[in-house]
Structure 1
């Protein structure tokens, strides 16, 4: 890390990605939940923003990615219990509000938002939301590295956020992820280092 990419935890926000009940059986996702819960609690205690990013799939598949429209097993249907966040994260999701592109507030600085594609930045107001809160550093945790966390991490760097991938709080993590992300200036850290950095900020 250098002066342009080093995390600024005093100006950071946590993004949790797709940690909804229907996705908890994706390999490794239940295993990362304790780390994500610790991160969420620490960011709340530090008064730093938290955004729970979710997917919602209409029953007819019309808002799904093209590669998923033929699949009957998408899950996260608005109104269904499986679309809700995993226990210990945020509150109950307001599907209508989220699908309308609005942020749903759970508490001071803590929100949920819906993303229509892999990246939390694609077709959303996330960048504006974070910049409005004075955020310079995005910390990403959740499900499932090869897809949505990776897309979100790359898009965060493209929007000139200092970016952190929490390797033991992202399911599907591989050794290759450490190598490929480092080349884009993304810090790959364990949750313990993020918690320490947040405590020192």
Structure 2
């Protein structure tokens, strides 16, 4: 880390990736990282920093899915219970059935609380064919903190794309399912900070105490 890559938590946003019921049930290690992600969402809300829950929605016929997932059926379908966010990620009395798939599939961010949104992504990266970069720029975000499911695929693509857009990036290793033995080396080689949940919570808490 140096002056160009060190996280700026006072200008950070939390991105949770694909933490939906179907993925939590199907992808190894995702249930286990949920408590850490809940700690992060609580800390970011308390510090009044932006949170974006990034989700997938597959049409029943698979036509909007990646080529490698076109044969996947019955997962994270719009309006289906399995597409909803995992429990404990939302606040303010919202239930897990609050997603508005029509709004999300149209490319709009769904507001679910003060500076808390849900955003649909059509491919691995949360930046690909979405308004995420504009959403972050409108809030003067310089640093993205990434947690969720499943590191080798969507979180990794999101982290790489963040650096390509000159954003500082943090991978929360114990809040990412599928974290690999080589990930610390790989991410550090791209200037991405690899931190534990406790380190991020401590940093964002300091930000909140100064607000």
TM-score under structure 2 length normalisation:
0.93
Structure 1 unaligned regions, length at least 5 = none
2:37: which partner in 1? 36
TM-score under structure 1 length normalisation:
0.98
Pick from 115, 137, 155 the counterpart of residue 131 of structure 1: 137
Secondary structure at the counterpart of residue 139 of structure 1: strand
Q: Spell out, residue by residue over 1:89-131, the C-alpha distance to the aligned partner (whole angstroms, 9 max, x if none).
A: 1341001000000000011100000000000000000000001
Aligned equivalents of 1:160, 1:57: Cα separation in 2: 30
Pick from 164, 169, 175 the counterpart of residue 158 of structure 1: 164
Q: Spell out, residue by residue over 1:6-37, the C-alpha distance to the aligned partner (whole angstroms, 9 max, x if none).
A: 00001000000000000012100000000000
2:188: which partner in 1? 182
2:154: which partner in 1? 148
Q: After the TM superposition, which parts of structure 1 deviate over 3 Å for at least 4 consecutive aligned residues?
A: none
1:20: which partner in 2? 20
Equivalences, count: 200
The 5-angstrom pairing of residues 58-73 of structure 1 reads 58-72=59-73
Judge conservation of contact 2:61–2:73 (CA < 8 Å) in 1: no
Aligned equivalents of 2:40, 2:72: Cα separation in 1: 33
Q: RMSD across aligned C-alpha pairs, in angstroms?
A: 0.8
Secondary structure at the counterpart of residue 182 of structure 2: helix
Aligned equivalents of 2:73, 2:137: Cα separation in 1: 37
